[in-house]
Chains A and B, each alone.
Chain A
Amino acid sequence: MPIEILMPALSPTMTEGNLVKWHVAEGDKVEAGDLLAEIETDKATMEVEAVDEGTIGKILIAEGTQDVKVNAAIALLLEEGEAATALDGYTSKGDAPQSAPAEKEPDQPQTVQESAPAPVVPTNSQDRLFASPLAKRIALDKGVDLNSVNGSGPHGRIVKRDVEGLSGGQAAPAPSIQQPTSTGPEFEDVPLSGMRKIIAKRLLESKQTIPHFYLTVDCQLDDLMATRKQLNEGLADQGKKITVNDFVIKAVAMALRDTPDANASWVGNAIRRYKHSDVSVAVAIDDGLVTPIIKKAELKSIVTVSDEMKVLAKKAKDGKLKPEEFQGGSFSISNLGMFGIKQFNAIINPPQACIMAVGAGEKRPVIVDGQVTSRTVVTITLSSDHRVVDGKVGADFLTAFKKYMENPVLLLAQG
């Protein structure tokens, strides 16, 4: 039986090679170590030497053949004393590299594709419910719907203490609310609306994570009231009426333009400064409030501001605001003056950095040139995120705001 001379693997990565040159011919005697052929691998040209001694019986792969598979027979070697007739019955034993005995085939590692989980669809973080793994497990065990639980952890995360005292099927159970008992006070639990949940979550997050500070200033409104009266008389035939609040919006817009540091947001790794005064105005509606936005208010005339505000307020009350009309302002105004509130501190509307609380304009005694006299005064309180706005910036903003409120002609000159 002639010995097959096989195409050798001459590098760990070689799977086939080119037979460049034969150094022996059929009929040549060879000994172990003799040069047989040159093979070009993926890396270099290397020599193939004889391992066994004998006579080259037949060359199976001609010189110059490209891409000869590793372990393919390239020649046949006749052993000592073996006749050339031994070649006659030759059939190739195949060229597949032999591996270990079949029963010991190594386990095939599973490919990543086979076991890859379904892709995770990114969810809107605003709508996501956050709960610790433990809180989720407790809720699952008790059959508690986490959507009905307020989270007290960071970013509104529901944690163990929020779900510990609950039992399954409870409707609106913040842990501090007791279930009615025969001896306790009588009450009714009102289910939470979606808006109530969002208000609760966002304002809790705001008050817990934003370092609020407060600046208060009084503005005299006598000139503004006179200007407004004059303006409204002029607009009467158009059926238009400018409100004090319209002046406040426009004054805020101008003061923000003058104090850009206050027109900004904390975005985690930076302070985002806005190019325009997009003023969110809180509007009370049934079961809550919304904040429609007067966009680029610094560029708009007070009449335009007034017109837009009326439209937005109506839409708000009718529940017809589009998302782009109430999402994304750069500064908020909350005005409780119409309810007779003298002064209050508002909670910042994230991700904004400031909200301005406006009280009621009222006649107050003030000292002018050493004499006590009566003036119409409003108390303004600015809540600021100290990560974004420092005391000086807040003061600069209020100074500018006060200037516009007390010199309303400047507002008419703009936009």
Chain B
Amino acid sequence: MTTLTIREALRDAMAEEMRRDEKVFVMGEEVAEYQGAYKVTQGLLQEFGAKRVIDTPITEHGFAGLAVGAAFRGLRPVVEFMTFNFAMQAIDHIINSAAKTLYMSGGQMGCPIVFRGPNGAASRVGAQHSQCYASWYSHCPGLKVIAPYSAADAKGLLKAAIRDPNPVVFLENELIYGTSFDVPDGDDHIIPIGKAAVVRKGKDVTITAYSIMVGKALKAAEVLAEEGIDAEVIDLRTIRPMDTETIIDSVKKTNRLVATEEGWGQSGVAAEISTVVQEQAFDYLDAPVARVSAKDVPLPYAANLEKLALPQVEDIVKAVKGVCYK
């Protein structure tokens, strides 16, 4: 084990996969000379050169489409969006070009590509730069959507994403790039896509979370433990395909579910989980499923309002008590 930040873990994942496969290249704004807008691609230019670490113009729609074309020819692009907010410019290529072509071609044209970058709210950057896209992309067949929390998962899942023959949307979080975790040594650390992890065992209530919300859910579980509520926390890790089996198994044990996400509630990931649970574990529910999500507003700038708008540890604690009838 080595202690690594998520930033370093992501960089190592890309570097290892680039060493392993000549077809893997990284492109995006400021990924090369600048060393990454958030320093995730630090050192890659020096090791792999300008052919494989490519600074693009600020032209998301264009370079996303270009990368899709390269992937159609069998290259394996890793496309960094400076943040996923800017991928809105490119969402047509992510969905219409990357996700659907395999089906529309009767299985002929695969698109092995990774779209990655920070997702969700950063800190005090206002509404246009603070949005969680997990539910947007998880809506679409033909895509895989990953949103890891720990550095070990970030590394293992990014390596899996780069090796995957399908288009993968890989959602990171800027606020935890600098958080350190233990990461297994060696370049064969791969986490399978589509598997959730029970990161805290408990018997009274299940809390699902992904990305930065996993940290908040774990903190909430500590608070709840002091009050005698034993919460189980599931890190979804992959949003699509979703590991519903792990969620259902947990709910069958705890009979209660609080589904959390950083994005808005309507048509969200938590709404999806809630539906799956009522479809597959209705008779095991002892309380309605509760959701904890962002307030239904564009994210405000003022510090106090921003905090109010985003789901916090206290919101999770409150929701858990509600479903535990306490």
Query: Which residue of B283, B287, B325 contacts A137 across the interface (Cβ within 8 Å)?
Result: B283
- Cβ proximity bits B295-326 to A, threshold 8 Å, 1 near / 0 not: 00000000000000000000000000000010
Structural contact, B283 and A154, CB atoms closer than 8 A:
no
Contacts of A154 in B (CB 8 A): 325
Contacts of A281 in B (CB 8 A): none
Contacts of B287 in A (CB 8 A): 132, 153, 159
CA distance A136 to B325 in the complex (A): 17
Minimum CB–CB distance for B289 against chain A, Å: 11
Contacts of B255 in A (CB 8 A): 134, 160
B48 proximal to A (CB < 8 A): no
CA distance A133 to B284 in the complex (A): 6
Given contacts A132-B287, A159-B287, A160-B255, contact A153 B282 (CB under 8 A): no
Structural contact, A133 and B325, CB atoms closer than 8 A:
no
- Cβ proximity bits A143-182 to B, threshold 8 Å, 1 near / 0 not: 0000000001110000110000000000000000000000
Structural contact, B285 and A134, CB atoms closer than 8 A:
yes
Minimum CB–CB distance for B325 against chain A, Å: 5
Chain A interface secondary structure, helix, strand, loop or mixed?
Answer: helix
Minimum CB–CB distance for B318 against chain A, Å: 14
A135 proximal to B (CB < 8 A): yes
CA distance A159 to B325 in the complex (A): 9
B164 proximal to A (CB < 8 A): no
Minimum CB–CB distance for A249 against chain B, Å: 39
Minimum CB–CB distance for A60 against chain B, Å: 41
Tell me the B252-276 residues at the A interface (CB within 8 Å).
Answer: 255
Structural contact, B325 and A135, CB atoms closer than 8 A:
no
CA distance A152 to B283 in the complex (A): 19
B286 proximal to A (CB < 8 A): yes
Query: Which residue of B282, B284, B325 contacts A152 across the interface (Cβ within 8 Å)?
Result: B325
CB-nearest residue of chain A to B285: A133
Minimum CB–CB distance for A177 against chain B, Å: 20
Minimum CB–CB distance for A226 against chain B, Å: 54
CA distance A366 to B284 in the complex (A): 63
CA distance A154 to B322 in the complex (A): 9
Structural contact, B286 and A160, CB atoms closer than 8 A:
yes
Structural contact, A134 and B325, CB atoms closer than 8 A:
no
CB-nearest residue of chain B to A132: B286
Minimum CB–CB distance for A207 against chain B, Å: 15
CB-nearest residue of chain B to A137: B283
Minimum CB–CB distance for A340 against chain B, Å: 39
Minimum CB–CB distance for A407 against chain B, Å: 49
Contacts of B284 in A (CB 8 A): 133-134, 137
Contacts of A136 in B (CB 8 A): 283
Question: B-side interface residues toward A, CB under 8 Å?
Answer: 255, 282-287, 325
26 contacts between A and B (CB under 8 A): A132-B285, A132-B286, A132-B287, A133-B282, A133-B283, A133-B284, A133-B285, A133-B286, A134-B255, A134-B283, A134-B284, A134-B285, A134-B286, A135-B286, A136-B283, A137-B283, A137-B284, A152-B325, A153-B287, A153-B325, A154-B325, A159-B286, A159-B287, A159-B325, A160-B255, A160-B286
Closest 5 CB pairs of A and B: A134-B286, A160-B286, A137-B283, A132-B286, A133-B285
**Additional pairs, 17, CB under 8 Å, beyond known A153-B287, A154-B325, A159-B286:** A132-B285, A132-B286, A133-B283, A133-B284, A133-B286, A134-B255, A134-B283, A134-B284, A134-B285, A134-B286, A135-B286, A137-B284, A153-B325, A159-B287, A159-B325, A160-B255, A160-B286
